[in-house]
Structure 1
Amino acid sequence: MEFTEFINSLGYLGLFISALLAATVLPFSSEAVMLGLLQQQWNPLLLVLIAGSGNTLGSVINYALGYWANDGFLQRQSAQHQRRLARAERFFDRYGSWSMLFAWVPVIGDPLTLLAGLLRLRFVVFLVLVALGKFGRYAVLAYTFS
């Protein structure tokens, strides 16, 4: 049995696991699992809620990794790198929090959520914007394919 088939056989739990893994640095796609369950006539609203929750939790894990890596990372940086990071933080504070709406985008989403933790974006802001983007993506998938 292929891994995706195994995850699909777990139903809602499999979707949650795949969505969580897809939001971390592991290369995994939860869309295939969700589309498979939609094709089997599973409840689209529950699928959106479960996939959005798992994917958001995966992003929270990335945020935490960035957040906790911050102290040691900063201490190992030269003064020049610390100034660059401070400049990046000012830019992120000015524009960056809205970028969390795009945390669902493949390739760039995972680094964005790590950066949010590293730059210590307020967690509530992070969580709301990431959740909006992630739940929105799954809602579009469910609407389009059910």
Structure 2
Amino acid sequence: MLTDPAYWSLFFLSMAAATLLPGGSELALVALLADGTRPAWALVAVATLGNVLGSLINWVLGRWLRRFVGRRWFPVTAAQLTRAEGVFTRYGAWTLLFAWVPVIGDPLTVAAGTLGVKLRVFLPLVTLGKALRYVVLAGLVGGVLG
């Protein structure tokens, strides 16, 4: 498994997709699942691990780089961050279960860092949400192709 470049590609694609960089990991996962040469559980685990690591990078960005918000090069706008912080204030850390949702997920994980959400809260919620997304996707692919 560690020598298979497909796993590494999926890992890094999933990690990049969860950071503030544009991209999606779902297409890569679907392609590898459709190939059928690797176990679905391993692909889901690798995609989840990479995606959670990307979200952790966002958390660190939020935690340590808040002073740069508003600068042209900073990947989250002040408006996105304010909106995400408002969601946090209203609904709490449970919103991290939705860190996988396009457009809002990345700002949510950055906001978690800026608001000082503890890693012991952040990691389980983000991991659960992202893993469930990949499990559902794998189930759908298996149902269509199986």
Please give the TM-score of this superposition, normalised by the length of structure 1: 0.78
Question: Are 1:144 and 2:140 matched, yes or no?
Answer: yes
Partners of 1:91 and 1:44 in 2: how far apart? 34
From 20, 32, 38, give the equivalent of 1:25: 20
Question: Are 1:63 and 2:59 matched, yes or no?
Answer: yes
Matches within 5 A, 1:26-65: 26-41=21-36, 42-65=38-61
**Deviation of the 1:104 alpha carbon:** 0.1
Match of 1:117 in 2: 113
From 98, 105, 110, give the equivalent of 2:101: 105
**Deviation of the 1:90 alpha carbon:** 9.0
Paired AA for residue 47 in structure 1:
L
Partners of 2:136 and 2:5 in 1: how far apart? 23
Deviations 1:25-45 (A, max 9, x none): 111110110000011102100
Q: 5+ residue gaps in structure 2?
A: 70-81
Question: Are 1:134 and 2:125 matched, yes or no?
Answer: no
Partners of 1:58 and 1:91 in 2: how far apart? 21
Partners of 2:27 and 2:85 in 1: how far apart? 36
Please give the TM-score of this superposition, normalised by the length of structure 2: 0.78
The two structures, once aligned, show a CA RMSD in angstroms of 2.2
Shift in CA distance, 91/22, structure 1 to aligned 2, threshold 3 Å: closer
SS of alignment partner, residue 11 of structure 1 = helix
Number of aligned positions between the proteins: 125
Paired AA for residue 39 in structure 1:
A
Q: 5+ residue gaps in structure 1?
A: 1-8, 75-84
Match of 2:72 in 1: none
Paired AA for residue 30 in structure 2:
L
**Deviation of the 1:60 alpha carbon:** 0.1
Contact 2:11-2:51 within 8 A present in 1 as well: yes
